A = this chain, B = another copy of it.
Amino acid sequence: MRNCIVAQSGGPTVAINASLAGIIAANEDNNYFDTIYGSINGVTGILKDKLLDLTETGKKIPGFVEKLKVTPAMYLGSCRYKLPKIGDDNAVYNKIFSYFEEKEIDTFFYIGGNDSMDTVLKLSDYAKEIGSPVKVIGIPKTIDNDLCGTDHTPGFGSAAKYVATSILEIAHDTFIYPVKSVTIVEVMGRDAGWLTAASALARNEYSTAPQLIYLPERAFDIDEFVEDVKKQLEVNNSVVVAVSEGIRDKDGEYISASGAATDNFGHKQLSGAGKALEYVIAEKLGVKVRSVEINILQRCASHLASLTDLNESMEQGKKALNLSQDGESGVMVTLKRTVNAPYTVETGCLDIHKIANEVKSVPLSMINERGNDVTDEMLEYLRPLIIGNPWVDYKEGLPAYLNVSHLVPGTKRIVPSTE
């Protein structure tokens, strides 16, 4: 028997299931693995013996792979579990590798972000240390696009499409009144501004929104911001500002409300950058102002995914299986852009030691001098990533995603131990 375990970890994206679908689809073609197991809630599913037999599931559900490709968040659930340093507590490593042996595991695939790649690094190092034949392969994902060693990460293109579409639709909303107004849209990205930068894709022949874009890679200056908005209000009725949740001032302090605020129930108030800037504009400029936090929808709105993103994520899942066949371990699947126009990418892999725990920030060449917009280089980088709409089935007016009752307690549909 030659089996594998796939697990998912970190925050959700709409493409993380597409990579899982890619592994399953590749195996349907070449039958490299007898059984593909899904570990429920990341690596903790291995520690708690919670596996789902995905080979079996795939046979039972018609169109499983195609539906999985467009189902948001994680079909296998997630975890925020960080493995101890090798040597600090080897009991957990022993448990994992005994379990691998018991289930006749040939490869462990981990789809996730930076923390998950840290797990890939540790498990593959440990395997080498104990001479285990188990291969460990990482497949990236993150809407933040902040993983090194790859052109862009699965999930980013779809989130970028959601952000740009939302900004375009918000622009239409703001055009309707002939009065001065400011709309501040807060976009996810604590440390990297890639997703906020994608708001620039919303601009077209009739709309310059967002007129201002602020990323966390540049120190944020409140006075300059007020000046920027004021200037834009001179030429536009409605000004739309895209701002990363992670913007910080020159001292590294987050731009957010954190003071001794209390609401009418006596509870302390906290709010993000968008809300904080809303109040700045209201006070300093006295114009109509509103803030919109796109919030978690930007990472789970599969109905508006980028087909390019989902296809590439699937390809990276297939590549992972091929890497396993080739005997690779301790690597992360990567994507290399070979040509920008026409957009062409190829999958590859990189030693996990060169990737884990590094953050890919937006280079300063992609931010304008004033720090309130992105450059054409950024737009050229972003444009191909949001192209195409996936086929999503609708049932009674709503997207018909895959049933994920195995993640919901009470429904008891988890296969507790698959032999």
Partner of A386, one of B78, B302, B308, B397: B397
CB distance from A335 to the nearest CB of B (A): 18
Q: How many copies does the complex hold?
A: 2
Given the complex, which residues of B lie within 8 Å of A165, measured CB to CB? 303, 398-399
The answer to whether A404 touches B175, judged by C-beta atoms less than 8 angstroms apart, is yes
Q: Which of A61-111 contact B (CB under 8 A)?
A: 71-74, 77-80
Chain B minimum-CB-distance residue to A281:
B267
With contact pairs A263-B279, A275-B271, A279-B265 given, residues A297 and B169 touching in the complex (Cβ less than 8 Å): yes
The answer to whether A296 touches B292, judged by C-beta atoms less than 8 angstroms apart, is yes
Partner of A296, one of B41, B173, B407: B173
Check: A323 CB closer than 8 A to any chain B CB: no
With contact pairs A408-B207, A409-B236 given, residues A263 and B268 touching in the complex (Cβ less than 8 Å): no
With contact pairs A222-B265, A283-B267, A408-B207 given, residues A173 and B397 touching in the complex (Cβ less than 8 Å): no
> Which stretch from A24-32, A113-121, A251-259, A365-373 is at the chain B interface?
A251-259
With contact pairs A12-B176, A388-B397, A397-B387 given, residues A267 and B280 touching in the complex (Cβ less than 8 Å): yes
The answer to whether A261 touches B258, judged by C-beta atoms less than 8 angstroms apart, is no
Q: Which of A363-391 contact B (CB under 8 A)?
A: 383, 385-389
Q: Which A residues form the contact surface with B (CB < 8 A)?
A: 12, 41, 71-74, 77-80, 161, 164-166, 168-170, 172-173, 175-178, 201-202, 204-207, 222, 235-237, 253, 256-269, 271, 275-276, 279-280, 282-283, 290, 292-297, 299-304, 306, 308, 383, 385-389, 394, 396-399, 401, 403-405, 407-411
Known pairs A169-B300, A235-B410, A263-B275. 7 more at Cβ < 8 A? A169-B301, A169-B303, A173-B299, A205-B405, A259-B261, A261-B263, A263-B279
Q: List 29 A-B contacts (CB under 8 A).
A: A41-B176, A78-B177, A80-B177, A164-B398, A165-B303, A165-B398, A168-B398, A169-B300, A170-B300, A175-B407, A204-B398, A205-B403, A236-B410, A257-B264, A257-B269, A258-B263, A259-B262, A261-B262, A261-B269, A264-B276, A267-B276, A267-B279, A271-B271, A292-B295, A292-B297, A297-B297, A304-B304, A387-B396, A388-B397
